[in-house]
Amino acid sequence: MKPPRRDVNKSPEDDQVTQATSYGPPAMGSVKSAGRVLRILEFFDEIQREARVSEIAERLSFPQSSTSILLNCLVDLGYMDYLPESRCFLPSPRVTLLGTWLDKGPIRNGSLIRMLEEISHKTGDTVIVAARNGIFSQYIHVLQARSAMRFHIPHGTRRLVVRSATGFALLTKCPDSDIRALCTRTNAEAPAGQARVEFDHVLESVRQTRRDGYYFSPGLVTAGAGSIAVPLPDGIDGRDRAITVAVAGILDDIARRKDSIVTSLRELTARYLTRAPSS
Protein backbone atom coordinates (compact mmCIF):
# COMPACT_ATOMS: atom_id res chain seq x y z
CA MET A 1 0.00 0.00 0.00
CA LYS A 2 1.36 3.35 -1.04
CA PRO A 3 1.28 6.13 1.54
CA PRO A 4 -1.00 9.10 0.90
CA ARG A 5 0.47 12.41 -0.13
CA ARG A 6 -1.55 14.58 2.23
CA ASP A 7 -1.00 15.26 5.88
CA VAL A 8 -2.23 17.57 8.60
CA ASN A 9 -0.17 16.96 11.72
CA LYS A 10 2.75 18.92 13.14
CA SER A 11 4.89 18.09 16.15
CA PRO A 12 3.91 20.21 19.20
CA GLU A 13 7.58 20.49 20.07
CA ASP A 14 8.11 22.81 17.10
CA ASP A 15 6.49 25.71 18.98
CA GLN A 16 8.79 25.45 22.00
CA VAL A 17 12.19 26.11 20.50
CA THR A 18 14.16 29.04 19.18
CA GLN A 19 15.69 28.40 15.77
CA ALA A 20 19.40 29.08 16.17
CA THR A 21 19.93 28.23 12.52
CA SER A 22 18.13 26.55 9.61
CA TYR A 23 18.92 23.36 7.82
CA GLY A 24 20.01 25.56 4.94
CA PRO A 25 20.48 24.62 1.30
CA PRO A 26 22.36 21.50 0.18
CA ALA A 27 26.13 21.80 -0.15
CA MET A 28 27.21 23.61 -3.28
CA GLY A 29 27.36 21.29 -6.27
CA SER A 30 25.35 18.49 -4.67
CA VAL A 31 22.45 16.88 -6.49
CA LYS A 32 19.27 18.32 -4.99
CA SER A 33 17.43 15.01 -4.52
CA ALA A 34 20.45 13.32 -2.94
CA GLY A 35 20.88 16.20 -0.52
CA ARG A 36 17.20 16.08 0.40
CA VAL A 37 17.28 12.34 1.09
CA LEU A 38 20.21 12.75 3.46
CA ARG A 39 18.55 15.65 5.23
CA ILE A 40 15.39 13.57 5.70
CA LEU A 41 17.46 10.84 7.36
CA GLU A 42 19.19 13.44 9.56
CA PHE A 43 15.78 14.84 10.49
CA PHE A 44 14.66 11.42 11.75
CA ASP A 45 17.94 11.01 13.61
CA GLU A 46 17.13 14.25 15.39
CA ILE A 47 13.48 13.67 16.32
CA GLN A 48 13.87 9.89 16.93
CA ARG A 49 10.21 9.08 16.22
CA GLU A 50 7.85 8.58 13.29
CA ALA A 51 6.66 11.59 11.29
CA ARG A 52 4.13 12.52 8.63
CA VAL A 53 4.86 14.00 5.22
CA SER A 54 3.68 17.49 6.11
CA GLU A 55 5.87 17.74 9.22
CA ILE A 56 8.96 16.64 7.32
CA ALA A 57 8.28 19.03 4.45
CA GLU A 58 7.60 21.98 6.76
CA ARG A 59 10.62 21.46 9.02
CA LEU A 60 12.98 21.05 6.07
CA SER A 61 11.33 23.69 3.87
CA PHE A 62 10.77 21.15 1.06
CA PRO A 63 7.78 21.12 -1.32
CA GLN A 64 5.32 18.60 0.10
CA SER A 65 4.77 16.87 -3.23
CA SER A 66 8.48 16.16 -3.82
CA THR A 67 8.91 15.13 -0.16
CA SER A 68 6.16 12.55 -0.61
CA ILE A 69 7.80 11.24 -3.79
CA LEU A 70 11.19 10.90 -2.06
CA LEU A 71 9.64 9.09 0.91
CA ASN A 72 7.78 6.70 -1.40
CA CYS A 73 11.06 5.99 -3.20
CA LEU A 74 12.83 5.25 0.09
CA VAL A 75 9.99 2.88 1.04
CA ASP A 76 10.40 1.04 -2.28
CA LEU A 77 14.17 0.75 -1.69
CA GLY A 78 13.70 -0.57 1.84
CA TYR A 79 15.25 2.40 3.66
CA MET A 80 11.95 3.73 5.02
CA ASP A 81 8.87 2.06 6.51
CA TYR A 82 5.35 3.40 6.05
CA LEU A 83 2.97 2.96 9.00
CA PRO A 84 -0.58 3.02 7.54
CA GLU A 85 -2.33 3.15 10.92
CA SER A 86 -0.73 6.53 11.71
CA ARG A 87 0.08 7.57 8.11
CA CYS A 88 3.66 8.14 9.24
CA PHE A 89 7.13 7.22 8.04
CA LEU A 90 10.05 5.79 10.00
CA PRO A 91 13.56 4.73 8.85
CA SER A 92 13.89 0.97 8.49
CA PRO A 93 16.54 -1.28 10.08
CA ARG A 94 18.42 -1.12 6.77
CA VAL A 95 19.44 2.44 7.66
CA THR A 96 20.87 1.22 10.97
CA LEU A 97 23.29 -1.08 9.19
CA LEU A 98 24.74 1.59 6.90
CA GLY A 99 28.29 2.57 7.78
CA THR A 100 28.85 0.12 10.63
CA TRP A 101 31.89 -1.24 8.79
CA LEU A 102 33.66 2.14 8.92
CA ASP A 103 34.51 2.12 12.61
CA LYS A 104 35.70 -0.37 15.22
CA GLY A 105 36.07 2.07 18.12
CA PRO A 106 33.84 4.10 20.45
CA ILE A 107 31.31 4.93 17.74
CA ARG A 108 30.64 1.32 16.81
CA ASN A 109 30.71 -0.10 20.33
CA GLY A 110 28.34 2.60 21.55
CA SER A 111 30.66 4.30 24.04
CA LEU A 112 30.41 7.69 22.37
CA ILE A 113 26.61 7.64 22.19
CA ARG A 114 26.32 6.52 25.82
CA MET A 115 28.63 9.38 26.82
CA LEU A 116 26.56 11.92 24.88
CA GLU A 117 23.34 10.65 26.43
CA GLU A 118 24.78 10.95 29.93
CA ILE A 119 26.03 14.49 29.21
CA SER A 120 22.53 15.35 27.98
CA HIS A 121 20.97 13.82 31.11
CA LYS A 122 23.35 15.61 33.49
CA THR A 123 23.26 19.05 31.91
CA GLY A 124 19.86 19.18 30.23
CA ASP A 125 21.46 21.23 27.45
CA THR A 126 22.02 20.64 23.74
CA VAL A 127 24.96 18.28 23.15
CA ILE A 128 26.95 18.52 19.92
CA VAL A 129 29.61 16.38 18.26
CA ALA A 130 31.58 18.25 15.60
CA ALA A 131 34.29 17.41 13.08
CA ARG A 132 36.12 19.56 10.58
CA ASN A 133 34.83 19.89 7.03
CA GLY A 134 37.13 22.23 5.10
CA ILE A 135 36.93 25.69 6.66
CA PHE A 136 33.93 24.65 8.72
CA SER A 137 33.23 22.85 11.96
CA GLN A 138 30.26 20.65 11.07
CA TYR A 139 27.84 19.23 13.64
CA ILE A 140 27.76 15.53 12.84
CA HIS A 141 25.51 14.59 15.76
CA VAL A 142 23.19 16.67 17.94
CA LEU A 143 21.12 15.80 21.00
CA GLN A 144 18.62 18.61 21.48
CA ALA A 145 18.06 20.16 24.90
CA ARG A 146 15.02 18.89 26.77
CA SER A 147 13.89 22.21 28.27
CA ALA A 148 11.07 24.27 26.70
CA MET A 149 13.33 27.34 26.37
CA ARG A 150 16.18 26.32 24.12
CA PHE A 151 17.92 26.94 20.82
CA HIS A 152 17.21 24.43 18.08
CA ILE A 153 20.45 23.31 16.37
CA PRO A 154 19.96 20.98 13.39
CA HIS A 155 22.25 18.14 12.42
CA GLY A 156 24.72 19.20 9.75
CA THR A 157 24.95 22.81 10.98
CA ARG A 158 28.27 24.41 9.96
CA ARG A 159 30.30 27.07 11.77
CA LEU A 160 33.59 28.59 10.70
CA VAL A 161 36.44 26.69 12.32
CA VAL A 162 38.26 29.94 13.08
CA ARG A 163 35.21 31.57 14.67
CA SER A 164 33.51 29.01 16.91
CA ALA A 165 34.04 27.11 20.14
CA THR A 166 33.97 23.73 18.40
CA GLY A 167 36.37 25.07 15.77
CA PHE A 168 38.96 26.18 18.31
CA ALA A 169 38.71 22.78 20.02
CA LEU A 170 39.26 21.05 16.66
CA LEU A 171 42.43 23.08 16.04
CA THR A 172 44.23 22.31 19.30
CA LYS A 173 46.55 19.76 17.66
CA CYS A 174 47.12 21.70 14.45
CA PRO A 175 50.48 23.43 13.86
CA ASP A 176 50.31 27.22 14.00
CA SER A 177 51.30 27.36 10.33
CA ASP A 178 48.21 25.32 9.41
CA ILE A 179 46.01 27.64 11.45
CA ARG A 180 47.47 30.66 9.63
CA ALA A 181 46.76 29.00 6.28
CA LEU A 182 43.20 28.24 7.38
CA CYS A 183 42.65 31.90 8.32
CA THR A 184 43.94 32.97 4.91
CA ARG A 185 41.63 30.53 3.12
CA THR A 186 38.64 31.58 5.23
CA ASN A 187 39.20 35.24 4.34
CA ALA A 188 39.66 34.36 0.67
CA GLU A 189 36.37 32.43 0.55
CA ALA A 190 34.40 34.84 2.73
CA PRO A 191 31.15 36.23 1.29
CA ALA A 192 30.74 39.96 0.95
CA GLY A 193 30.23 41.67 4.27
CA GLN A 194 31.78 38.96 6.45
CA ALA A 195 34.26 40.34 8.99
CA ARG A 196 37.88 39.53 8.30
CA VAL A 197 39.48 36.80 10.41
CA GLU A 198 42.56 37.93 12.32
CA PHE A 199 45.15 35.19 12.72
CA ASP A 200 46.47 36.54 16.05
CA HIS A 201 43.01 36.43 17.60
CA VAL A 202 42.39 32.89 16.37
CA LEU A 203 45.77 31.67 17.58
CA GLU A 204 45.16 33.22 21.00
CA SER A 205 41.83 31.36 21.27
CA VAL A 206 43.37 28.05 20.19
CA ARG A 207 46.23 28.43 22.67
CA GLN A 208 43.71 29.20 25.40
CA THR A 209 41.87 25.99 24.51
CA ARG A 210 45.12 24.01 24.58
CA ARG A 211 45.93 25.45 28.00
CA ASP A 212 42.51 25.11 29.64
CA GLY A 213 41.31 21.96 27.87
CA TYR A 214 38.09 23.65 26.78
CA TYR A 215 36.74 26.80 25.11
CA PHE A 216 33.79 28.82 26.36
CA SER A 217 31.99 30.87 23.71
CA PRO A 218 29.82 33.70 25.08
CA GLY A 219 27.60 34.35 22.07
CA LEU A 220 30.46 34.15 19.59
CA VAL A 221 28.24 32.81 16.79
CA THR A 222 24.63 33.18 17.93
CA ALA A 223 23.54 36.13 20.07
CA GLY A 224 22.24 34.99 23.44
CA ALA A 225 23.70 31.51 23.10
CA GLY A 226 26.71 30.07 24.89
CA SER A 227 28.69 26.90 24.30
CA ILE A 228 31.55 24.99 25.88
CA ALA A 229 33.64 22.72 23.66
CA VAL A 230 36.14 20.05 24.73
CA PRO A 231 38.47 18.17 22.33
CA LEU A 232 37.95 14.41 22.32
CA PRO A 233 40.79 11.84 22.42
CA ASP A 234 42.37 10.62 19.19
CA GLY A 235 41.01 7.65 17.28
CA ILE A 236 37.30 8.18 17.92
CA ASP A 237 36.23 7.31 14.36
CA GLY A 238 39.09 5.05 13.27
CA ARG A 239 40.56 7.73 10.97
CA ASP A 240 42.18 9.76 13.71
CA ARG A 241 40.24 12.87 12.75
CA ALA A 242 39.93 15.64 15.30
CA ILE A 243 36.49 15.49 16.94
CA THR A 244 35.04 17.65 19.69
CA VAL A 245 32.01 17.55 21.98
CA ALA A 246 30.19 20.70 23.04
CA VAL A 247 27.36 21.72 25.34
CA ALA A 248 25.25 24.66 24.18
CA GLY A 249 22.33 26.63 25.55
CA ILE A 250 21.06 29.98 26.77
CA LEU A 251 24.14 32.14 27.45
CA ASP A 252 23.35 33.28 30.99
CA ASP A 253 22.56 29.73 32.09
CA ILE A 254 25.66 28.22 30.46
CA ALA A 255 27.89 30.93 31.97
CA ARG A 256 26.44 30.35 35.44
CA ARG A 257 27.07 26.59 35.27
CA LYS A 258 30.32 26.73 33.29
CA ASP A 259 32.54 25.05 35.91
CA SER A 260 30.15 22.16 36.54
CA ILE A 261 29.64 21.60 32.79
CA VAL A 262 33.40 21.51 32.17
CA THR A 263 33.83 19.06 35.07
CA SER A 264 31.10 16.78 33.66
CA LEU A 265 32.59 16.87 30.16
CA ARG A 266 36.04 15.95 31.45
CA GLU A 267 34.83 13.18 33.77
CA LEU A 268 32.55 11.55 31.21
CA THR A 269 35.13 11.77 28.42
CA ALA A 270 37.67 10.05 30.67
CA ARG A 271 35.19 7.38 31.71
CA TYR A 272 33.89 6.46 28.26
CA LEU A 273 36.69 7.24 25.80
CA THR A 274 40.11 6.72 27.41
CA ARG A 275 40.29 2.99 26.78
CA ALA A 276 41.86 1.62 23.61
CA PRO A 277 39.55 1.73 20.58
CA SER A 278 39.64 -2.07 20.22
CA SER A 279 38.04 -2.39 23.66
279 within a domain of the structure (yes/no): no
60 and 168 share one domain: no
Per-residue pLDDT of the chain (279 residues; tens, 9 = 90+): 444 433 333 333 333 344 443 333 444 444 778 889 999 998 998 888 999 999 999 999 999 999 999 999 999 988 899 998 999 999 988 887 777 666 666 766 778 889 999 999 999 999 999 999 999 999 988 998 887 777 888 888 899 999 999 999 999 999 999 999 999 999 999 998 889 999 999 999 999 999 999 999 998 888 889 999 999 998 777 677 899 999 999 999 999 999 999 999 999 999 998 754 444
71 and 204 share one domain: no
262 and 127 share one domain: yes
Side chain identity at residue 66, one-letter code: S
Residue 253: give the domain boundaries.
Answer: 100-273
CA-to-CA dists, residue 160 to 26, 122, 167, 189, 228, angstroms: 17, 28, 7, 11, 16
Cα gap 4→96, rounded to integer Å: 25
Domain final residue pick, 55, 75, 97: 97
CATH of the domain at 243: 3.30.450.40
Cα gap 263→183, rounded to integer Å: 31
Q: Helix axis angle, 32-47 relative to 53-60, nearest 10°?
A: 110
CA-to-CA dists, residue 279 to 19, 109, 115, 258, angstroms: 39, 8, 15, 32
2 within a domain of the structure (yes/no): no
CATH of the domain at 45: 1.10.10.10
CB within 8 Å of 108: residues ≥ 6 apart: 100
114 and 93 share one domain: no
Residue 85 is given by DSSP the state T
Strands across the sheet with 126-133, in order?
158-160, 136-143, 126-133, 243-250, 225-231, 215-218
- Per the structure, the count of domains in the chain is 2
Whole-structure pTM value? 0.73
